[in-house]
Structure 1
Amino acid sequence: MALPSGLLGALDPTSDRAVFRQIADHLRESIDKGRFREGDKLPSETELVEHYGVSRMTVRNALSILQGEGLAVSEHGRGVFVRPRPPVRRLASDRFARRHRDEGKSAFTVEAEAAGVHSEVDSLEVKEEKPSQDVAARLGSPRKVLARRRRYLIDGRPVEFGTSYLPLDIARGTQIAEPNPGPGGIYARLEEQGHRLDHFDEEIRARMPSPHEVRTLHLASGVPVIHLIRTAYDTEGRAVEVCDTIMAADAFVLAYQLPAT
């Protein structure tokens, strides 16, 4: 069966780019331009073989590139489909502004509301433990910390999980040690205890996920993660929290407003 005219390009015999990569380029461009939308079935192997006049193995290699990039997913017996992507959240530079805490909202809630999506937290765990060497160094070398682990979902899809580490002399016996820390989250509770927040330091890098991260975030093949480590400081210069977060890279846009002076 012939594919619709203009849906895919033609091979360039003068190009030094491998044929299967040219085919992958055509399919990727069609996805980017919306000719194939999320959930759409891509042309079958037979259709692509006939369209390009190449072997089935060449077509399979092209489709495997898209799957490796996280753009497509294969469903046994049905074909290859454009992979649905989770809703994108903008990770804005003002997400920890005090006005949000004063309204009783956490940063995650604020971002989800701005995106018009439903957010929730699952897999919550709160316990005291010995910190890693890196976390201990950031917090001033405490022997034990309170760790708050949670996973965040948007419209039912996991997009982020992280752990907050707080010194025990601040967190033990307070609402911070409870599963629900109350309106505004743990930052609101810290400020109520006199630790008025002054600034946050963030370190961000992108990398490929570990097997545990793939399982936890239900990541498709080829989707990287954003690894963010944030340290919160109070006005006395003390580090009062370290948050180690892993995010599905295809679910976020990092949006920052930087002063020019």
Structure 2
Amino acid sequence: MAETARQIADDLRARIDSGDLTPGARLPGEPALVKTYGVAKETARRALTLLVTEGLAVRRRGSGTYVREFRPIRRVGNRRLAKEGWGSGRSIWSADLGDREFTVADLKVYEAESPRQIARLLEIEASEPVIVRSRRFLVEGEPVQAATSYLPAELVRGSAIAQHDTGPGGTPARLADLGFAPVRFTEEVRARMPTQQEKELLQLSEATPVVEICRTAFTEEGRAVEVAQMLLDGGVYVMEYNLES
């Protein structure tokens, strides 16, 4: 009896999890899957596509499909924003990556009129200026996230936040220096398929979704001081939130 694409993908995933197929190993090709499972070529192709979509495999043109070598990033929302991290001069990213290689690319810092949606979240007039910080983040040479942050210009103009290098602890630490320490954050999260431009920006494999996060930072007095819009490669992230009842 012919197996479904999902069943074939489950079998291959189990071999990856067990270590039978190691990172960088070539997965059985479509002809091999057709022979082994007695399925149509299209079913075999769908099984491999499922693993690519899940971020477990990558396709190499003219070569085949391989087990992905990139280790997933565990994004622990509660831990990465804790004051004990940025307050001691560490990057927010250190909570996610430890000692893995990390670089910032395409950084742009400029002043502009606030977009309507951002103005609403910052509770300012749409015409009021904001400082914009736009960049991509690469881990071990792979683009994993694009992010744009918006901060009220009247609060941060002339500070290190308006410069390329914000210094130890990043934007949260500089906001604290200015008397606007972020103590509470809200995040809106949704998953969707990327646009063509976003595929190119993050160099996404085919059929890979993105995770869109909009985070707003608030002071103890409840003032919104930063809105960060982030676009994550859905194939490389594990999202973890620790909640108490």
Output the CA distance in 1 between the equivalents of 2:235 and 2:42.
29
In structure 2, what is the equivalent of residue 193 of structure 1? 178
In 1, are the aligned partners of 2:74 and 2:240 still within 8 Å (CA)?
no
1:178-206 Cα distance to aligned partner (Å, 9 max, x none):
00011111111111111132311111112
Q: Equivalents in 2 of 1:141, 1:27: separation in Å?
A: 52
Cα shift at 1:23 = 3.6
Counterpart of 1:124 in 2: which secondary structure?
Answer: strand
The offset of 1:215, in angstroms, is 1.3
Cα RMSD (Å): 2.4
Structure 2: state its 5+ residue gaps.
none
Following superposition, the deviation at residue 44 of structure 1 comes to 3.3
CA distance in 2, matches of 1:201, 1:44: 44
CA distance in 2, matches of 1:22, 1:87: 23
Which residue among 155, 160, 181 is the counterpart of 2:145?
160
Q: Which residue of 2 aligns with 1:6?
A: none
State the distance in 1 between where 2:90 and 2:7 align: 48
Q: Shift in Å at residue 117 of structure 1? A: 1.0
Work out which of the two has the higher radius of gyration on C-alpha atoms and give 1 or 2: 1
Structure 1 counterpart of 2:110: 127
Identity %: 40
Q: Post-superposition shift, 1:18?
A: 6.3
- 1:208 is aligned, of 193, 209, 218, to 193
- The one-letter amino acid paired with 2:138 is L
Q: Larger deviation: 164-173 or 71-80? A: 71-80
Letter in 1 for 2:19: G
2:162 corresponds to: 177
The separation in 1 between residues aligned to 2:38 and 2:238, in whole angstroms, is 40
Q: Tell me the amino acid that sits aligned with residue 115 of structure 2.
A: S
The runs of 4+ residues in structure 1 deviating greater than 6 Å are: none
Corresponding letter in the other structure for 2:65: V
Give the one of 27, 36, 51 matched to 2:12: 27
**What is the DSSP-based 3-state SS (H/G/I as helix, E as strand, rest coil) of the residue aligned with 2:80?**
coil
Does structure 2 conserve the Cα–Cα contact (< 8 Å) formed by 1:139 and 1:240?
A: yes
Is 1:77 the equivalent of 2:59? Answer: no
Q: Matches of 1:21 and 1:110 in 2, distance apart?
A: 34
1:78 counterpart letter in structure 2: S
Alpha-carbon distance, 1:67 to partner: 4.0
Cα 1:66–1:236 change in 2 (3 A) is: closer
More moved, 21-30 vs 185-194: 21-30
Q: Deviations over 1:140-159 (max 9, x none)?
A: 13322110011111111111
What residue identity is the alignment partner of 1:168?
A
Partner residue of 2:203? 218
Structure 1: distance between partners of 2:183 and 2:31: 61
Distance in 1 between the 2:244 and 2:236 partners? 26
* Match of residue 241, structure 1, among 220, 226, 229: 226
Cα deviation for residue 241 of structure 1 reads 0.7
Distance, in Å, in 1 between the alignment partners of 2:186 and 2:44 is: 47
- Please list the CA deviations of residues 34-60 of structure 1 after superposition, one character each: whole Å capped at 9, or x if unmatched: 332222112233433333345545544
Contact 1:100 1:106 in 2 (8 A): yes
Contact 1:126 1:147 in 2 (8 A): yes
Partner Cα separation in structure 2 for residue 31 and residue 146 of structure 1:
45
Take 2:220 and 2:56, find their aligned partners in 1: how far apart are those partners? 45
Deviation at 1:70, TM superposition (A): 4.3
Q: TM-score, normalised by structure 1?
A: 0.82
How many equivalent pairs are there? Answer: 243
Q: TM-score, normalised by structure 2?
A: 0.87
User: Shift in Å at residue 65 of structure 1?
Assistant: 4.4
Question: What is aligned with 1:7?
Answer: none
